[in-house]
Amino acid sequence: MSGPQHAAPRPSLAVWKFASCDGCQLTLLDCEDELMAVTDRVEIAYFLEASSAVVEGPYDLSLVEGSITTAVDAERIKEVRRQSRTLITIGACATAGGIQALRNFGDVEELLRIVYATPEFLSTLGTSTPISDHVEVDLELRGCPIDRRQLLEVIGAVLAGRKPAIGDHSVCVECKARHNTCVLVAHGTPCLGPVTHAGCGALCPSFHRGCYGCFGPSEGADIAAMTSVLRAQGMSEDEILRLFHTFNAWSEGFREPPVGPVPVALSPSRLSPSRLSPREDRP
């Protein structure tokens, strides 16, 4: 018989934040029922959202949230990689640049002038890019936010030394397994499920809503064919562009959906102060 479960040191876990909203880190804290089991198996060595106590690296498993938007972060992620045996990125920011990657389509200097009173205080890159653009990533967990079952699956798989069951097929596969009604075919509701990466358990269609693609493109997704479907459902060119340009706008699949010309006011590079900052007009 081997000794007690903790005779060997527990693998260390670090959770890192880059440009993000913290929602994916919260998903780990939301694992209330499983959190004690997680802490029993891994030593949470660095997780500032949960504890200010920090254990020095290196770390066996790093979970990285957020995208790279500053020169400082572009260097910091390299250090995180150096300190991490396994590095897994979590969420749309870390895997695709996130919603803040909308800046990639426009002029960041112009946006800064529109949004901030004193833009000269800011130091930022012109782009928001996924972690995989900067360092080697061992696995990506998609979603905005990530799915807690997938997070636990990955942690469990790493601990067991097995392949995690994280498929890169479409949301439709999950929808059909759940015996959901297809909102696209039966209700005429625009839905990105056919080209969106599975993992959420078909959450939105389960509540009769179309998928809005928060897990980004699935493997083999045909965006041009999907665009035709959305057009046939009555969506305008700018509505189609907006549907793709949300949380995963900078992902390779969703970046340039083949849409016709859209009104200039909707093009991010043409965002005017009157459209974006009506604050002074408000009572």
Partner 1 sequence: MIAPTVRDGTITPDRIDSAAELPIGYTDDQDGGHYRLVPTGTDEYFASSSPIDSWKRFLSPPEALLVRGRSSSTDLEVEPVVPDPVAFAFVGIRACDLAAIGLLDRVFLAPDAVDPTYATRRREVFVVAVGCVHPGATCFCASMGTGPIPRDGYDLALTELYDGDRHEFLVDVGSDRGAAVMADVSGRPAVAADDEAAAARAERAVAAMGRQLDPLDPPRAAANPEHVGWGDVAGRCLSCGNCTMVCPTCFCSATQDRTALLGDGVERWRVWDSCFTADFSSLHGNPVRATTESRYRQWLLHKLVTWHDQFGSSGCVGCGRCITSCPVGIDLTAEIRVLAES
Q: Give contact residues for partner 1 (rule: CB under 8 A).
A: 1-2, 34, 37-38, 40-41, 152, 155-157, 159-160, 162, 165, 167-170, 172-173, 176-182, 184-187, 193-195, 208, 218-222, 224-226, 228-229
Q: Let me know: does 134 contact 69? Beta carbons within 8 Å.
A: no
Calculate helix-pair angle for 32-41, 148-160, nearest 10 degrees: 20
**To the nearest whole angstrom, how small is the minimum distance from the Cβ of residue 43 to partner 1?**
14
DSSP type of residue 236: -
Q: Let me know: does 94 contact 218? Beta carbons within 8 Å.
A: no
Q: How far apart are CA 224 and CA 35, in angstroms?
A: 42
| Cβ-based nearer residue to partner 1, 72 or 225 | 225
Query: Half-sphere exposure of 23 toward its Cβ, with a 13 Å CA cutoff?
Result: 15
The identity of residue 197, as a single letter, is H
Q: How far apart are CA 25 and CA 18, in angstroms?
A: 11
**Token pair listed for 260:** 């016709």
**To the nearest whole angstrom, how small is the minimum distance from the Cβ of residue 228 to partner 1?**
7
| Cβ-based nearer residue to partner 1, 74 or 157 | 157
**To the nearest whole angstrom, how small is the minimum distance from the Cβ of residue 144 to partner 1?**
20
| Cβ-based nearer residue to partner 1, 38 or 112 | 38
123: helix, strand or coil: coil
| Cβ-based nearer residue to partner 1, 5 or 123 | 5
| Cβ-based nearer residue to partner 1, 133 or 168 | 168
**To the nearest whole angstrom, how small is the minimum distance from the Cβ of residue 188 to partner 1?**
8
| Cβ-based nearer residue to partner 1, 34 or 110 | 34
Chain centre to alpha carbon of residue 31: 18
The residue ranges of DSSP E strands in the chain, in sequence order, are 12-17, 43-47, 59-65, 84-90, 139-141
**To the nearest whole angstrom, how small is the minimum distance from the Cβ of residue 250 to partner 1?**
22
**To the nearest whole angstrom, how small is the minimum distance from the Cβ of residue 174 to partner 1?**
9
Closest CA to 132 of 123, 122, 145, 141: 141
